[in-house]
Amino acid sequence: MSDLMAEITKAMGFRHYALVHHVDLKPAARSVHIIDYPPDWVDRFQARRLYASDPIHRASHRTNVGFAWSAVQSIISLTAADRSILAEAYEAGLGDGFTVPAHIPGELNGSCSFAMAAGEMLDHRQLPLVQLVGSFAFEAARKISRIHEPEVQCPSLTERQAECVALVARGKTDWEIGQILGIGQETVIQHVKDARDRYGVTRRTLLAIRALFDGQISFADVFGR
Amino acid sequence: MSDLMAEITKAMGFRHYALVHHVDLKPAARSVHIIDYPPDWVDRFQARRLYASDPIHRASHRTNVGFAWSAVQSIISLTAADRSILAEAYEAGLGDGFTVPAHIPGELNGSCSFAMAAGEMLDHRQLPLVQLVGSFAFEAARKISRIHEPEVQCPSLTERQAECVALVARGKTDWEIGQILGIGQETVIQHVKDARDRYGVTRRTLLAIRALFDGQISFADVFGR
DNA sequence: GATGATCTCCCCAGAACTGGGGATAACGCA
DNA sequence: TGCGTTATCCCCAGTTCTGGGGAGATCATC
């Protein structure tokens, strides 16, 4: 796969690529982690755990199609820290690049990025092709990486539990949730209790965030209507 | 957008399209719902709330790249009920089709599908193009659907507040947070209180989710380490 | 030197949540 | 028919959170 990626990267006129799930532990179970970036940068990336705060990764969590790194501020607003991360990457030899996000509900977020050497320009006419290649490359890597699946699936909630958790996420009290769903407060307490048990957490706040993270509820459930 | 989609659909040799978030309530706040399917089928789809159980939708939740409907059983295993749904769609005038999933963490799942009339064949050489068009069409629709957003500028938290909220999001109690940050429990209570005030919310659960939503804290803050 | 923002700490009353223990009824599956 | 799952309801003791009220210290800015 690495060889193939290297070849494609070169053919499209790029210098580096990264086909990764956004986690820090590279030897993690079945996560994809195929990189050809300047080693210097990879080390720093790992050391500072940028996998989640890196602006490019953050932006990739906000969209469905690829984007040029130079246009990242049209997706998220950059803090001073973000700018310094980008500057540092540039120093390390990464020029402009293009990142294709890869999201599947309940799975780790990932992306496929291609980068020029520092100083070189992106060829914008090629970007649709890069988008396509990135998507399929990630999907291919994902399929390969899960051939041996022992399959740890995230806990699932019953419909009622999910409804309660969505309302918990909205900051409703158990009594309010009971009113909204037309059931007793005690019942709500029970549902929330059961949901907490399934996730193995003891606080409703973490419950809500976990449920949000793996798609049992969505931001739309929280802010919708 | 409908006109544009109709044109593109035709140009690519398809008969129908559907650019949708996977929800039942079509007039929902900011969800995408642009469809040109046989009305008969749309009605039945709504009535039976297939948005969640339809095999095509289910399959689209399992992958990142588009797939031909005729190959859906390579993604999910079809039950008898699934087969009958597919057969029904065929009866209603939907032939083979191609669905491009669209997932963004924390948002509703969606997809962009194109379908032939019943009996016609997919041109497999076109599928990469369809993949590309589907992705961008969905992203465009998504962006348009949120132009009119009330546009509330998000409150910003002080560094200490953000640290406290991140730990709140991890389900820590105020006392635990105090231990972790090396400050008194009372101080933590104050920070959380101030953070709640800034967001104008009364529950820490909603505080955590709001802070997560607009990037004051990230999932990495919650699950990292 | 005043003003505002931030961080730190304290007290209290009432509301909300958590972790135990119960119970009944409906449903599908074997 | 029994077993498991789900949904509904109840009680209670103890903990945690929320919404009020304070206060002192630092720091930058005007």
pLDDT digits (tens, 9 = 90+) for A44-55: 777 766 665 688
Please tell me which residue, B146 or B110, carries the higher pLDDT value.
B110
Q: What is the DSSP letter of A17?
A: E
Q: Residue A153 gets which letter from DSSP?
A: P
Phi, psi (rounded to 5 degrees) for A170: -80, 0
d(CA B42, CA A102): 29
pLDDT score at B23:
64
Same fold, B2-145 and B159-223: no
State residue B151's pLDDT score.
43
Lowest mean pLDDT among A24-33, A34-43, B17-26, B138-147: A24-33
pLDDT beyond 60 at B93: yes
d(CA A102, CA A215): 15
The pLDDT-based confidence of B215 (bands split at 50, 70, 90) is low
Q: DSSP code of B155?
A: P
**Average pLDDT over every residue of A71-92:** 80
pLDDT for B77? 66
Q: What residues does each domain of chain A span? A: 2-145, 159-223
B45 pLDDT more than 80: no
State which of B79-83, B129-133, B157-161 shows the largest mean pLDDT.
B129-133
Distances (CA, A) of A82 to A69, A79, B127, B210: 12, 5, 37, 21
Distance B215 CA to C18 C1' (A): 30
Q: Is B75 or A155 the better-scoring residue by pLDDT?
A: B75
Q: How confident is the model at residue B100 (pLDDT cuts 50, 70, 90)?
A: very high
CA dihedral B171, B174, B176, B181 (to 10 degrees): 110
**Helix or strand or coil: residue A220?**
helix
Asked if pLDDT for residue B27 goes beyond 50, the answer is no
- Spatial distance from the CA of A200 to the C1' of C12 (Å): 34
The answer to whether the CB of B62 falls within 8 A of the CB of B75 is yes
Mean pLDDT within A70-85: 78
Here the tokens at position B169 are 């999001």
CB contacts < 8 A, A to B, total 132
Does A145 contact chain B (CB < 8 Å)? no
How far is the C-alpha of B204 from the C-alpha of B187, rounded, in Å? 16
Question: How confident is residue A118, by pLDDT bands cut at 50, 70 and 90?
Answer: confident
Asked whether the predicted pLDDT for residue A148 surpasses 70, the reply is no
* 8 Å CB contact between A53 and A59: no
Q: What is the CA radius of gyration of chain B?
A: 23
Least reliable range by pLDDT among A2-11, A30-39, B177-186? A30-39
What is the arithmetic mean of pLDDT over A148-152? 46
Provide mean pLDDT across the span B41-61.
73
3-state secondary structure (DSSP) of residue B89: helix
Least confident of A198-207, B63-72, B115-124, B201-210: B115-124
Residues of B with CB below 8 A from A222's CB? 206, 209, 213
Element (H, E) at B76: none
Tell me the DSSP string of A74-92: GTSPPPHHHHHHHHHHHHT
Q: In terms of Cα–Cα distance, which of A200, A163, A222 is closest to B206? A: A222
Mean pLDDT, to the nearest integer, of A117-138?
Answer: 89
A16-21: strand order across its sheet: A33-36, A16-21, A110-117, A94-102, A67-68
Find the Å distance, CA of residue B178 to C1' of nucleotide C9: 12
pLDDT band at A189 (very low <50, low <70, confident <90, very high): very high
Does the beta-carbon distance from B64 to A225 stay under 8 Å?
no
pLDDT of residue B177: 92
Give CA A197 to chain center in angstroms.
26
Kindly report the pTM of this predicted structure.
Answer: 0.70
Q: What amino acid is encoded at A168 in this protein?
A: V
Instruction: Return the higher-pLDDT residue of B23 and A2.
Output: A2
Q: How many CB atoms lie within 10 A of CB A10?
A: 11
Considering chain B, what is the average pLDDT of its residues?
82
For residues A103 and B104, the answer to whether their CB atoms sit within 8 Å is: yes
Instruction: Give me the pLDDT at residue B195, please.
Output: 92
* Predicted pLDDT at B21: 82
Which H/E stretch holds residue B10?
helix B2-11
Q: How confident is the model at residue A20 (pLDDT cuts 50, 70, 90)?
A: confident
Structure tokens at B182: 């090396």
- Residue that is written with structure tokens 């070189």 in the block: A120
What are the residues whose beta carbons fall under 8 Å from the beta carbon of B141, sequence distance 6 or more?
Answer: B1, B19, B32, B34
Cα(first)–Cα(last) distance of chain B, in Å? Answer: 45
Residue A208 confidence (pLDDT): 93
Task: Tell me which range, A148-152, B1-5, B28-32, is most confidently predicted by mean pLDDT.
Answer: B1-5
What pLDDT sits at residue A27? 44
Per-residue pLDDT averaged across A163-178, rounded?
A: 93
Cβ distance A99 to A110 under 8 Å? no
Neighbours of A151 (CB within 10 A): 7
**Whether the predicted pLDDT of B209 surpasses 80:** yes
User: What are the φ/ψ torsions at residue B161 (nearest 5 degrees)?
Assistant: -60, -45
CATH architecture classification, A159-223 = Orthogonal Bundle (1.10)
Give residue A105's pLDDT. Answer: 65
* CA A79 to C1' C8, whole Å: 27
Does 3.30.450.80 match the CATH number of domain A2-145? yes
Q: DSSP label at A103? A: -
Rounded to an integer, what distance in angstroms lies between the CA atom of residue B148 and that of residue B165? 29
User: Is A205 close to B202, i.e. CB distance below 8 A?
Assistant: no
Instruction: Report yes or no: A168 at the B interface, CB cutoff 8 Å.
Output: yes
Q: How far apart are CA B167 and CA A77, in angstroms?
A: 23
Nucleic strand D under 7 Å from the C-beta of B189? yes
pLDDT score of B28 more than 60 = no
Residue B62 CA to residue A32 CA, distance in Å, equals 16
- Using 50, 70 and 90 to split pLDDT, how confident is the model at B152? very low
Identify all chain A residues contacting B208, using CB atoms and an 8 Å cutoff: 205, 208-209
Residue A152 is predicted with a pLDDT of 45
Question: To the nearest 10°, the Cα dihedral for B177, B182, B186, B190?
Answer: -70
B-contacting residues in A 66-125 (Cβ below 8 Å): 76, 101-105, 109
Q: Quote the pLDDT of residue A40.
A: 84
